[in-house]
Amino acid sequence: MTVHGHSRGRAAPRFLSRSRTRSSAAQTQLAARDTESVTVFAGVFAGVRILTGFVFLWAFLDKTFGWSYATPSGKGWIDGGSPTKGFLGAVAVGPLQSTFHGMAGDVWVDWLFMLGLLAIGIAVTSGVVLRLAAVAGTVMMALMWAGEWPPAQHLSTGAPSMSSNPVVDYHVVYAAILIALAVGHAGRVWGLGRRWERMAFVRDNRWLG
């Protein structure tokens, strides 16, 4: 009886030890999966950042050199063409129609627009100054949204505006992506974000992060 009692007394600790080991192993597996998920998400987020930056860079390059996509060959910025005259001059809807017509082709508007495309493209692609890039990009997208004025169903000429959504179009989506990239510090993965944030003048001026 004594022997059996002693044996039963030692069985419980072994059972608890095995249970704790299994629980610890399960927690380790869950932690590993969470880490893997975070890593995958960070990689996808970084990929979205690079693709978004390339959209702005491509627009700058095509409008500068006239690569026969949105800008015909021979009508690029370096050929004397205006990168804003075509879009702003063709605005045919919205409360800012006359304002955009007056701005179309102005030298200062061309320079501001092109430098904006270049700066936003470089910043987003490299992963630095994402906060400023998000602000500048959102302002640019807002102005372009106003130029197309999605809420209108018809142009000033009476023709259909071909708007597919009165509020959310691709300009709004791009602006949301830029803000998300900045808030999520997307430049830290596959970018120069971490090095940039460690610089003394950036640490002293957080708005440059």
Query: Is pLDDT above 50 for 105?
Result: yes
Q: How many helices (H) and strands (E) does the chain have?
A: 8, 0
Specify the higher pLDDT residue, 206 or 86: 86
Mean pLDDT of the chain: 88
167: left (phi over 0), alpha (psi -120 to 50) or beta: alpha
pLDDT digits 0-9 by tens, 2-28: 444 444 545 455 555 555 666 666 566
Q: What's the rounded Cα separation, in Å, for the pair 187 and 10?
A: 56
Q: Which amino acid is at 6?
A: H
Give this prediction's pTM: 0.82
pLDDT digits 0-9 by tens, 74-83: 999 999 999 9
pLDDT digits 0-9 by tens, 140-178: 999 999 999 999 999 999 999 999 999 999 999 999 999
The shares of helix, strand and coil residues in the chain, as percent rounded to the nearest 5, are 70, 0, 30
Average pLDDT over residues 35-54: 88
Query: Collapsing DSSP states into helix, strand and coil, what is residue 154?
Result: strand
Q: Which residue matches tokens 């050929």?
A: 79
